Amino acid sequence: MASLPRRIIKETQRLVAEPVSGITALPDENNARYFHVKVVGPKESPYERGVFSLELFLPEEYPMSAPKVRFLTKIYHPNIDKLGRICLDILKDKWSPALQIRTVLLSIQALLSAPNPDDPLENDVAEAWKTNEAQAIATAKQWTCKYAMSE
């Protein structure tokens, strides 16, 4: 395995030693830049009790460029598209090298608590959220039951 930058090693060690509540992020055994992530749906959100799988990849330019993160579990959310891509400012134009993997994961967890239909990635879901929020939340709960909960 190619040598990893010290920062990635330190961040990985901290993620394992001091896990974030409701989030696990484990480096892949074959590629320490690739993480298998599980995020538990936040309480009092449509995603409550769901466990969502994500992948997180640290590009060569990290920390000068943002990690690449994608949902692997299907989710009904205005800021996450059918391919699992996430519309989150810190993953795009608001990225800063001062941010860390754990900051990104906490921000994704927060996005599950507070969807933002005014900055959508999935326009039809955002439209549903704006026109009939109760129905959109019900659909999000159904998808959570169907795709993010094991029997």
The two three-digit tokens of residue 127, written as one number: 């439209």
Q: Is the dihedral of CA 115, 118, 121, 122 positive or negative?
A: positive
Is the distance from CB of 20 to CB of 106 less than 8 angstroms? yes
The residues that are catalytic are 87
Position 22 scores a pLDDT of 95
* Cα distance between residue 28 and residue 5, in whole Å: 16
Q: Convert 47-66 to b/e letters by CB count within 10 Å (16 or more is b).
A: beebbbebbbebeeebbeeb
Which residue ranges in the chain fall short of pLDDT 70? 1-2, 151
Position 3 scores a pLDDT of 81
Q: Please count the CA atoms within 13 angstroms of the CA of 27 that sit on its side-chain side.
A: 17
pTM: 0.94
Which residues make Cβ contacts (< 8 Å) with residue 28, sequence separation at least 6? 34, 35, 36
Is CATH 3.10.110.10 what the domain over 6-147 is classified as, yes or no? yes
Residue type, 95: W
DSSP conformational letter for 109: H
Q: What are the CA-CA distances from residue 112 to residues 10, 34, 47, 145 (Å)? A: 27, 22, 7, 15
